[in-house]
Amino acid sequence: MDIRGADPEVDAVLVAVHLAALTWRTATGSDPRNTEEQPAEFPDMSTRVAADTLGITERGVRQAITRGHLHATRVDGRWRITRENLAHFQAARTAA
């Protein structure tokens, strides 16, 4: 941070790394601006809240969705999981 602006090549690399990180967050469904858990009156939750509830990573939640083990719907490009579906998935994990 102290040398920012001193070397244009270093600045270009830092910008590229920053853009790559932002792109990765968007592609994986992680939104750093939306870190709060939704209130209970909302019937569904994000992959982040589901991951926190299950004690696994967001990637693990997305893999369970892709494999068909956890039912979720896609809304505006993001996965939404109902509390009921999460409870079924959690019960199946516990039983296995």
Tokens 């809240």 -> residue: 49
Per-residue pLDDT tens for 33-82? 554 555 555 578 999 999 999 999 999 999 999 999 999 999 888 999 99
Specify whether 25 is located in the same domain as 60. Answer: no
Q: Which of 35, 29, 25, 41 shows the shortest CA–CA distance to 72?
A: 29
Position 40 scores a pLDDT of 52
The pLDDT value recorded for residue 68 is 93
In this structure, the answer to whether residues 16 and 55 fall within a common structural domain is no
Same domain, 48 and 81: yes
In this predicted model, which residue has the larger pLDDT, 29 or 54? 54
Say yes or no: 26 and 56 in one domain.
Answer: no
Looking at the structure, do residues 16 and 48 belong to the same domain, yes or no? no
Query: Counting Cβ atoms within 10 Å, is residue 61 exposed (0-12), middle (13-18) or buried (19+)?
Result: buried
Give the domain range for residue 19.
1-33
| pLDDT score, position 44 | 85
pLDDT of res. 33: 52
